[in-house]
Structure 1
Amino acid sequence: MRTQIGIIGAGRGRMVLAHILAQQGIDAVVLERRDREYVEGRVRAGVLEQVTVDVMHSLGLAERLDAEGLVHGGTNLSLDGELIHIDMAGLTGGRTVTVYGQQEVMSDLFSAADARGVKIVWNAEDVAIEDAATDKPMLRWRNDGEAHELQCDFIVGCDGQHGVSRKTIPTGVLKEFERVYPFGWLGILAEVPPVEDELIYANHERGFALASMRSPTRSRYYIQCEIDERIEDWGDDRFWDELCLRLGPDVGGRVTRGPSFEKSIAPLRSYVAEPMRWNRLFLAGDAAHIVPPTGAKGMNLAISDVKILADALVEYYGEKSAAGIDGYSARALSRVWKAVRFSWWFTSVTHRYPDMDGFDRRIQMAELDYIRGSIPAQRTLAENYVGLPLE
């Protein structure tokens, strides 16, 4: 088998890349080690930046997004129960974010794949990259016990932190940067209406909380927890009590409680791998970077990666110019590090750290109070939250 672009992983960014390439007449094959039901069913965040929404529109895949997505022109910070509203649309010239579950994004991408000629190989096991340092890289894998190989012009690794792609880059070439946070997020999904029309990021003396949603009838709530907490120790009543306490008496008193149907604990870390290109191998999405969920940058960064890469590949095949692919890593990393900075900063002003003392707490309070009274500070937050434009 032969293709122009071999893509490892069938998650959000890689499927967007496959659709863009198909739209431009560039042949690509996607290898995914799981089946569609598993990939589509994974519970992930669902705040889409304007760039992501624009990409879905450019692909003609925004019908359900427009019909069901919740457009947010603002967001809320909370300091010990007192709300600070950030008018994102007013501060950024009308730019917004849209709440639309990542599972729904995946469903839209998968449902249109066959009709658009997007080729996906499901249950591809033992994927290996060979000859990545040459001009004839190859992918090998097994499916139903049979061995397969795929000759490629380029390989795009979108296979996450534990995939083969990043491991293929030699140790002497790859540089890794990491910050592990000393807490996690305990989250639940419940069929109850959201407490507020827009998200609330709460800083409370007992720790962080987030009031989010997936639809007008489904809520997603999080609370900061110890990194070694056990889900079994958090019954629904205990979770609701702690959430309402951290949201404060006004907001907490308006929370609609109900049984959770999904509960999980997620660790938080910041991670970046450089470079994002080695010879004919490109990294994108979680294979190259991870951000804490504060600020909802994970999926959006993956989409911006592949949009930058897709433009470069279209230029390569259409204009016979390597300028775009040669500049991919630097251009993508510039955006990645800005998002990492914002997610780190947003986490630092909303969470309680184990070694925080009274001085640190007062600094947090002063920072949030400054944001409350400063339009330039609010504008900086808003610009980063809705997503910086592609440069």
Structure 2
Amino acid sequence: MRTQVAIVGSGPSGLLLGQLLATIGVETVILERSSREHVLGRVRAGVLEQGTVDLLSEAGAATRLNAEGLQHSGISLAFDGRLHRIDLTMLTGGKHVTVYGQTEVTHDLMDKREAAGLATVYEAANVALHDFDGETPFVTYDKDGVSHRIDCNFIAGCDGYHGVSRKSVPERSIKTFERQYPFGWLGVLAEVPPADHELVYANHERGFALCSMRSTHRSRYYVQCPLDDHVEAWSDDRFWDELRRRLPPQTAAAVTVGPSFEKSIAPLRSFVAEPMRFGRLFLVGDAAHIVPPTGAKGLNLAASDVRYLFAGLREFYRDKSQVGLDAYSGKALARVWKAVRFSWWMTMMLHRFPETGEFGQRIQEAELDYLVHSKAASTALAENYVGLPY
């Protein structure tokens, strides 16, 4: 088999890149190690920057998003027993974010790809990348006991942190940067209305909490917990009680409790791999970088990677120029590191670390107080939250 771009991974970044390339007539094949059902079962982020929404529109996959997505013009920081609202729209000259679950984004892109009859191979085993440092790269995989080969011009590694793409790069050719955080997020999904019409980020002496949502009837809540904690130790009643303890009284009173249908603990880390291009292999999204979810940047960073790579591939196929592809890694990493910084800063400001102590807590409280009372500081947060320019 031959295609122009082989895409490894059918998460949002791989599907979005494939759909954008289809709009300009570039052929792709997507290889996915898991089943379609498994991919759609992943519960992930749901806050989209306008740039991400625009890319989905350009790909022709934003119909349901435009109908069902919730536009948010602000967020609230909860501390000292009160809510302090950051008006994103006012501080950024009219920008906002859109709440729409990553699972729904994936579903929309999958449906679009299938309707167009574009090739996706699910449950592809033993995927291997070959000769991407030369002019004739190819990808091999096994399906139903039969070995296959795909020859291509380029390979896009959109297969996440644990995928084969980054692991295929020789260690001498890549440098990684990592920060592990000493806690996790215990999260639940429940079919209950959200406690607030916008996201609430809470700093509390018992630990961080977040009130989020996927829709007007589906809520996503998180509490900071030890890394060695176990989901089995958290009944729904225990979770709701702990969440409400960490929220201001008026927000806690607005929490509607109900049975959770998903509950998990996720560790937090910052991770960046440099560079993001190796010959004709390009790393995209979580294959190259991970950020703690505090800043709502993971999916949006993947989308910005796709934007830069799509622009480079379009220039290559239309104009026979490699200038955009040569610039891909530098442009993507410049934006990545700014998002890594923002996510790190939000995490440091809102969580309890082992070394926080009373002094550290007072420093956090002072920083939060300055943040909500300084227009300059609030603007810096708002600009980063809605998404920095590409």
Please give the TM-score of this superposition, normalised by the length of structure 2: 0.99
Does 2:4 match 1:4? yes
Q: Superposed, which structure 2 residues align to 1:81-160 within 5 Å?
A: 81-160=81-160
The amino acid that maps onto 1:77 is: L
In 2, Cα distance between equivalents of 1:347 and 1:134: 41
The amino acid that maps onto 1:19 is: Q
CA displacement 1:42-64 (0-9 Å, x = unmatched) = 11111111111111111222111
- What is residue 218 of structure 1 aligned with on the other side? 218
How far residue 81 of structure 1 moved from its aligned partner, in angstroms, is 2.6
How far residue 156 of structure 1 moved from its aligned partner, in angstroms, is 0.7
The answer to whether the 8 Å contact 1:13/1:306 transfers is yes
In 1, Cα distance between equivalents of 2:183 and 2:302: 24
- What is residue 48 of structure 2 aligned with on the other side? 48
The answer to whether the 8 Å contact 2:40/2:106 transfers is yes
- What is residue 332 of structure 1 aligned with on the other side? 332
How far residue 123 of structure 1 moved from its aligned partner, in angstroms, is 1.1
In 2, Cα distance between equivalents of 1:195 and 1:255: 5
* TM-aligned CA distance change 1:7 to 1:111, over 3 Å: same
CA displacement 1:268-321 (0-9 Å, x = unmatched) = 000000000011111001100000010111111101101110000000111111
CA displacement 1:84-129 (0-9 Å, x = unmatched) = 1000011111111111111111111011113334321111110001
In 2, Cα distance between equivalents of 1:27 and 1:256: 48
In 1, Cα distance between equivalents of 2:116 and 2:48: 23
Q: Quick check: 92-101 or 108-117, which moved more?
A: 108-117
Q: Quick check: 195-204 or 51-60, which moved more?
A: 51-60
The answer to whether the 8 Å contact 2:74/2:198 transfers is yes
In 1, Cα distance between equivalents of 2:276 and 2:236: 42
Describe the SS at the equivalent of 1:369: helix
Does 2:39 match 1:39? yes
- What is residue 313 of structure 1 aligned with on the other side? 313
Q: Superposed, which structure 2 residues align to 1:197-212 within 5 Å?
A: 197-212=197-212
The amino acid that maps onto 2:231 is: I
The answer to whether the 8 Å contact 2:83/2:248 transfers is no
The answer to whether the 8 Å contact 2:6/2:30 transfers is yes
Describe the SS at the equivalent of 1:210: strand
Q: Superposed, which structure 2 residues align to 1:344-383 within 5 Å?
A: 344-383=344-383
The answer to whether the 8 Å contact 1:81/1:202 transfers is no
In 2, Cα distance between equivalents of 1:47 and 1:282: 25
In 2, Cα distance between equivalents of 1:345 and 1:26: 40
In 1, Cα distance between equivalents of 2:192 and 2:3: 47
Describe the SS at the equivalent of 2:321: coil
- What is residue 63 of structure 1 aligned with on the other side? 63
Does 2:248 match 1:248? yes
In 2, Cα distance between equivalents of 1:325 and 1:374: 41
- What is residue 293 of structure 1 aligned with on the other side? 293
CA displacement 1:327-376 (0-9 Å, x = unmatched) = 10000000000000000000000000011122211111111000111011
The answer to whether the 8 Å contact 1:140/1:147 transfers is yes
CA displacement 1:128-164 (0-9 Å, x = unmatched) = 0111111101100000110000011111111112211
Runs of 4 or more, structure 1, over 4 Å off, are: none
In 2, Cα distance between equivalents of 1:105 and 1:7: 18
How far residue 41 of structure 1 moved from its aligned partner, in angstroms, is 1.7
The amino acid that maps onto 1:335 is: R
- What is residue 73 of structure 1 aligned with on the other side? 73
The answer to whether the 8 Å contact 2:91/2:379 transfers is yes
Q: Which consecutive unaligned segments of at least 5 residues does structure 1 have?
A: none
In 2, Cα distance between equivalents of 1:179 and 1:118: 38
Describe the SS at the equivalent of 2:333: helix
Describe the SS at the equivalent of 1:294: helix
The amino acid that maps onto 1:317 is: Y
Q: Superposed, which structure 2 residues align to 1:253-264 within 5 Å?
A: 253-264=253-264
Describe the SS at the equivalent of 1:135: coil
The amino acid that maps onto 1:97 is: V
- The sequence identity of aligned pairs, in percent, is 59
Q: Quick check: 112-121 or 86-95, which moved more?
A: 112-121
How far residue 82 of structure 1 moved from its aligned partner, in angstroms, is 1.1
- What is residue 30 of structure 1 aligned with on the other side? 30
